[in-house]
Structure 1
Amino acid sequence: MVRTGRDEARLRHPRHERRGEARLPAVVATLVAICLYLLLPQQLLVAPRYVLPALELVLLIPVVAINPRRLTRQTRAFRVLSLALVLIIAVSNLSALGFLIHQLVYASVKDGRSLLLAALQVWLTNIIVFGLAFWELDRGGPVLRTQLPRDELPLADFRFSQDENEGTVEEVADGSSSRSDWVPTLVDYLYVSLTNSTAFSPTDTMPLSSRAKLLMSVESVSALLTSLLVIARAVSILH
C-alpha cells in the first residue's frame, strides 16, 4: 500500500505510537531566552548578571535529564522544575521591562540605540517565555498531550484552528485534530505568542481557560508597553 503525504504527516506526529515531542526545540528556546537576558544592560538586571542564568541552567539540566530526547516521561519533579524554570525567566524579563520603563521616565537616557536593542531583547524574550508557558500549561503539558488518550486529556486552555477544521474541505479536514490526532507542539505555541505580542490580542487561536486569558493579557500589555512607550521614546532620543 502506497502511503500518501497525509499518511506520512500522521506518522511524523508526536502522538503517533506515543513517540512524544522532541526535547531539542524547547532547550534551544530556553537557552536563547537565557542568552538574551545575559546581554541586557546592567541597570535592567534584577540580580547580578550571572545569578539568574546560572539558576535557570541548574533547573534546565535535570529537566533535560528526565526526558533527554523526547518528552515521554512525566514525573512530579519534572513538572515542578519545568514550571519553575519558565516562571523565573518570565519574572526576570518582566522585571527588566519595569526597569527599562523606569530608566525612561526617571533617568536621563542619551543612548537611544542601546535602548532600542534592550527593548528588542525584552520583546523577544517575552515571546519565547510566554510561548513556553502556553506549551507547559495547555492540556496538561507536552508529555500528557502526546501520551494520554484524548478522552483522558485535561481540558484545553487554547482552541487551535485544527480543533475545528473537521467540517471543511477534505485536504483541510484530514489535518484536523479529530481525524489526524493532531495536538499542538512548541512551534504552535511560539506562533500564538508571537501573534499575541504583535497584534496585542488573540488571532487564530483562542484562549479558553481563565489562566490562558490572564497570561495572554499580561503578554499583550507588556508587549504594548515595549512597543509604544519604550521604542517610541528611544526613537525620539535618536532624533
Structure 2
Amino acid sequence: MSKQDARRARSVAPEHRWPAVVGTVIALAAYALLPSVIPAIARYSVVAVCGLMVVALILYNPHRFTRESKWSRRAEIAVAVLILVANQIAFVETVVRLLNKHGNGSEILLASLQVWVTNAIAFALVFWTMDRGGPVARVTLPRSELPLADFRFPQDEDDDTIDEVARGSSGRMDWVPNYIDYFYFSLANSMAFSATDTMPLTHRAKLLMALEAFAGFVLLALVIARAVSLIG
C-alpha cells in the first residue's frame, strides 16, 4: 500500500444504501397520495423523475456507498432538493386550506400529517447529502480533507468522556453520521422547533433548520386551531 493509500484508509465501514432508499420511497409515496389541488400529472412527474434517479443510484451503489461520480453526486442532491421543494409547495397549499377551511376535517388533517412526515424525511435527505461532502466522502476522504462540517453531533465531542461512551466517538472509533442520524435530528427539529443534540454550524444549516422548524410550528398551530374550531 502506498503512502497516499495509507493516508486515505479509514476504519469506518461505508454506509448502507437502504435506510435512505426507504425514507425516499416513503416521502415519494406520501407526496403522491397527498390530497391536493396540485394536478396529479405534476405530482406523479416529480415522483417518476425521483424514482428513476433512485433506481439508477441503487444500481450504481446497490448495498453500500462505496463509490461516487459527478453524476451520482448530482443525482443524490437533485432527489433530495426536488422532494423538498415539491413538499414546500404542498406545505403552502395545506396552510392556505387550513386558513380558508377548505375540505373536510379528516382530509385536511391527513394532508397536514403527510406534509409534516415528508418534510422530516426530505430535510433529512438534504442534510445527509450536504454535510461533510455527502455519504461517500464522509467515509473515504481523510478527515483533514473533508469539507467543513455543517452539523456537530454528540459523538464528535465524546472522546474525552467515560470509556464506554468514548469508544463510540468520532475521535476514538472514526465515527461519522449516517442517514439514520440525520433523520433523527430532522424529526426532533420538526417536533421541538429547535436544535436538540445536534448543532448547526454553517449558515446554510441554520437556515434550513430554521425553515423546517418554522414549517413544523405553523402546521401544528394551524391544525390545533382547526381542531378547536371544529370542537366549537
- Fold-level match, TM-score > 0.5? yes
Output the CA distance in 2 between the equivalents of 1:19 and 1:64: 18
Q: Which moved more, 1:27-36 or 1:149-158?
A: 149-158
Shift of 1:114: 1.2
Alignment correspondent of 1:60: 54
Alignment correspondent of 1:69: 63
Write the mapping of 1:82-231 to structure 2, written as runs, cut at 5 A: 82-106=76-100, 108-231=101-224
Q: Is the 8 A contact 2:12 2:175 kept in 1?
A: no
1:30 maps onto 2:47 in alignment:
no
- CA pair 47-216 structure 1, distance change in 2 beyond 3 A: farther
TM-score (norm 1): 0.88
What one-letter code is carried by the residue in structure 1 that aligns with 2:57? V
Residue-by-residue CA offset, 1:53-81 (whole Å, 9 max, x unaligned): 11111221222222111101111101111
| Partner secondary structure for residue 37 of structure 2 | helix
Alignment correspondent of 2:36: 42
| Partner secondary structure for residue 177 of structure 2 | coil
Output the CA distance in 2 between the equivalents of 1:196 and 1:113: 25
Q: How many residues align?
A: 224
Output the CA distance in 2 between the equivalents of 1:45 and 1:163: 45
Q: Which moved more, 1:19-28 or 1:196-205?
A: 19-28
Q: Is the 8 A contact 2:11 2:174 kept in 1?
A: no
Q: Is the 8 A contact 2:159 2:169 kept in 1?
A: yes
Residue-by-residue CA offset, 1:77-122 (whole Å, 9 max, x unaligned): 011111111111001111001011112233x435111111110111
Q: Which consecutive residues of structure 1, in runs of 5 or more, have no partner in the other structure? A: 1-14
| Partner secondary structure for residue 71 of structure 1 | coil
TM-score (norm 2): 0.90
RMSD: 1.8
Shift of 1:44: 5.0
Output the CA distance in 2 between the equivalents of 1:99 and 1:136: 27
| Partner secondary structure for residue 196 of structure 2 | coil
Shift of 1:19: 3.7
Q: Is the 8 A contact 2:131 2:149 kept in 1?
A: yes
| Partner secondary structure for residue 87 of structure 2 | helix
Shift of 1:129: 0.6
Superposition misfits of 4+ residues, deviation over 6 angstroms: none
Q: Is the 8 A contact 1:123 1:223 kept in 2?
A: yes
Shift of 1:185: 0.7
Output the CA distance in 2 between the equivalents of 1:196 and 1:65: 32
Same amino acid, percent of matched pairs: 48
Which of 218, 233, 237 is residue 230 of structure 2 equivalent to? 237
